[in-house]
Amino acid sequence: ATPPVALPREAETHCPYCALQCGMVLRAEGDRVEVLPRQFPTNRGGLCQKGWTAAELLDHPERLTTPLLRDASGELRPATWDAALDRVAAGIRAVQSGHGRDAVAVFGGGGLTNEKAYALGKFARVALRTRHIDYNGRWCMSSAAAAGIRAFGVDRGLPFPLADLARADTLLLVGANPAETMPPLLRHLTDQRQRGGRLIVVDPRVTATARQADLHLQPLPGTDLAVANALLHIALTEGLVDKAYVDARTTGFEQVRRTVAGYWPAEVERLSGVPVADLEATARALAGGSAIILTARGAEQHAKGVDTVSAFVNLALALGLPGRPGSGYGCLTGQGNGQGGREHGQKSDQLPGYRKIDDPAARAHVAGVWGVDPDDLPGPGVPAYRLLDSLGTPGGPRAMLVFGSNPVVSAPRAARVTERLRGLDLLVVADFLLSETAALADVVLPVAQWAEEEGTMTNLEGRVLRRQALRRPPPGVRTDLDILAGLAARLDDGEPGTGPAGTPTTTTGTGAAAAQPAGRAARQFPTDPRVVFAELRRASAGGPADYAGITWERIERDEGVFWPCPDPDGPDAPRLFADRFPTPDGRARFHPVTHRPAAEEVCAEYPLHFTTGRVLAQYQSGTQTRRVAALRRAAPGGFVELHPDLADRLGVDEGDELVVTSRRGELRAPARLSPTIRPDTVFAPFHWGGAARANSVTNDATDPVSGMPEFKICAVRVEKA
């Protein structure tokens, strides 16, 4: 083990929450940790209230500081680390010996550092030898990732730095609400507006971002694809397509041209509610100079999410935007390490470096780095929801290890997922708070927080960043890397307690009780994040997401390093696609797509559309932000937003308790009346569990390509409680 390094009194790091990864300074003030914003290219000195208050959780009274084991009476009780890890290892062995290796599953998270995401993927495939690993990034931007790969040959959320937004004459945001999800990003939008740029927003709700737009298209949920095809139809009929670009840099346009020919604007107006004049104004604005099209969850979280994103990618390609200065297509990733989390092997179909797990060359390369036989690496598993829905069913996994995720709140059709989790022989959750999922676990393992460990994150621009530690984890707490090493040692040697308790194993310290793993497992599962990153660089070398040339020193020196970066002495890649696309022929690929209805349409019994999203003061499943006093005051609980006309029809007043019912379940929350939503649609934020859990209602239909669930539309009825 590398000896622990001295910790600074002040550390330059990044926010633990979203993919903007705002730069911040952590300062030790006595026992307290103070958060200060710092100038960084993404946030330029700004932080939202979530970032400002992030340190409150470090010493939160509800923080877990000892492992918990469920006893015979069904209670979770404090336990030693040896007892907890022994129980997990014994449970894994029992399940695998009775039901095969695939009977154990791993579920990761888009907030884990690159090192943890990499180690988790390796742990599943090498220590457990299960094909069942996936993560909550499937909820985040898997549809844009799939659409990006099929068009451009690579998935990097933004293929240009955020600062380029200010250079666009027109910015089209589709299903994105950065004013609430990542407010410091608005500094770039303000620059763009001050330069005379136009902002056009596509969103069924009049969001805080839509209010700032020059033009707001407010389509019926689930009709974005038709809107995009209509925009391309108009571009074609008005001669706005960049023919030279299409001819020189793309393939497959003819089929797309034939497909969009049928998307007459007047018909799309009838379908989506977006006036023809607004469609025409948007198409002309996008073609009139530099332009950037950005999509986010609103476009993606549909059973046709990949095709919806492809429709906007087709539009961008036809207008000649990708690779041109101040222009392009990009996706706003949500989770803190949503980008890096899907590059290093947490996805069921991927190996590190964004390699495909069924590619023999990729398997041989990664197996060589891992020191295993390629034939011993499992094949592809299944996407997150299919995995969760198969738990405990005949032939499905009977044990699951969850790291950094809370599917009881965040998964669609959450009641069924909860039932599946309850039916497992063994559920293990590593977290630093008792999330709703951890509360169901047989074993809970308390882990370090962001200010207590080193590592790297990859933000929404594909920029790899350093996370720096300011303090050591509290006694009794370990890092995720320590946990994986401890389990691997037990599974490898078949002996519990393979090392002397109290031996520190990472540069940042891991708490007094960390155990030193022995033998082969210690070599295969190092606990020092620097060592893990060095191995990740080798494993990613030559892959689409090539980190081989990225070092921690370079990250610090250069304000982050953009992948691909194959050579430590060569350049990184802030802007992609200037000359060619990383496809076999160097050209981008059009993909014809057609509108189809949502998986569930409104009917007499369920006459309203239901959609979900976020609020400014909360984040994801709320495990963290619901426990921060200032954020709880700002956003104390769930609600159901509905139009006053609809409220009139239902006899509902502001604050009335409502029941929203779908075919899968119900949520109960107070009414919030707002003229900013369509009268045929109701909205609920997804940050809360319990009765207000929005995902009790959502549909578990998934995109056939990406596995992304249809969080953004289903059919409901609304009644007063």
With contacts defined by CB under 6 A, how many residues of the chain interact with ligand SF4? 14
187 binds ligand SF4 (CB under 6 A): no
Question: Residue 261's CB: how many other CB atoms inside 10 A?
Answer: 13
Q: Which residue is nearest to ligand SF4 (CB)?
A: 51
At its nearest, how many Å lie between ligand SF4 and the CB of residue 187? 11
- What sections of 73-113 are H helices per DSSP? 81-99
At its nearest, how many Å lie between ligand SF4 and the CB of residue 23? 9
617 binds ligand SF4 (CB under 6 A): no
18 binds ligand SF4 (CB under 6 A): yes
For ligand SF4, which stretch binds (CB under 6 A), given 179-187, 221-229, 235-243, 370-378? 179-187
At its nearest, how many Å lie between ligand SF4 and the CB of residue 190? 15
Q: What is the DSSP string of 610-661?
A: EEEE--TT--TT-TTGGGSHHHHHHS-S--EEE-HHHHHHHT--TT-EEEEE
**Residues of this chain, 20-39, that bind ligand SF4 according to CB under 6 A:** 20-22
338 binds ligand SF4 (CB under 6 A): no
Nearest to 261 by CA among 284, 222, 235: 235
Q: Which two tokens stand for residue 73?
A: 């009476």
Run of H or E including 668: strand 666-673
Residues 88-101: b if buried by 16+ CB within 10 A, e if exposed: bbebbeebbeebee
At its nearest, how many Å lie between ligand SF4 and the CB of residue 212? 16
In the stretch 42-81, what mask flags binding to ligand SF4 with x, by CB under 6 A? -x---xx-xx------------------------------
Q: Closer to ligand SF4 at the Cβ: 57 or 234?
A: 57
Q: Which of 11, 13, 15, 233 binds ligand SF4 (CB under 6 A)?
A: 15
Nearest to 682 by CA among 721, 715, 638: 715
Question: What is the Cα gyration radius of the chain?
Answer: 25
Q: Closer to ligand SF4 at the Cβ: 335 or 540?
A: 335
Is 349 buried (19+), middle (13-18) or exposed (0-12) by CB count in 10 A?
A: middle
Q: Closer to ligand SF4 at the Cβ: 157 or 183?
A: 183
Q: Which of 17, 263, 552, 590 binds ligand SF4 (CB under 6 A)?
A: 17
297 binds ligand SF4 (CB under 6 A): no
Question: Residue 690's CB: how many other CB atoms inside 10 A?
Answer: 13
At its nearest, how many Å lie between ligand SF4 and the CB of residue 451? 13
For ligand SF4, which stretch binds (CB under 6 A), given 18-26, 115-123, 266-274, 473-481? 18-26
615 binds ligand SF4 (CB under 6 A): no
State the helix-helix crossing angle for 360-370 and 529-540, rounded to 10 degrees: 150
Q: Closer to ligand SF4 at the Cβ: 114 or 218?
A: 114
Cα 127 from Cα 584, distance rounded (Å): 35
Cα 250 from Cα 236, distance rounded (Å): 16
Cα 353 from Cα 343, distance rounded (Å): 6
Q: Which two tokens stand for residue 500?
A: 């002397």
The C-alpha angle with vertex 712 and arms to 706 and 717, in degrees rounded to 5, equals: 135
Q: Which of 88, 127, 166, 182 binds ligand SF4 (CB under 6 A)?
A: 182
Q: Closer to ligand SF4 at the Cβ: 151 or 457?
A: 457
**Residues of this chain, 400-419, that bind ligand SF4 according to CB under 6 A:** none
Which strands make up the sheet holding 104-108, listed edge to edge? 76-78, 68-70, 443-446, 426-431, 399-403, 104-108, 133-135
184 binds ligand SF4 (CB under 6 A): yes
Residues in touch with ligand SF4 (CB under 6 A): 15, 17-18, 20-22, 43, 47-48, 50-51, 182-184
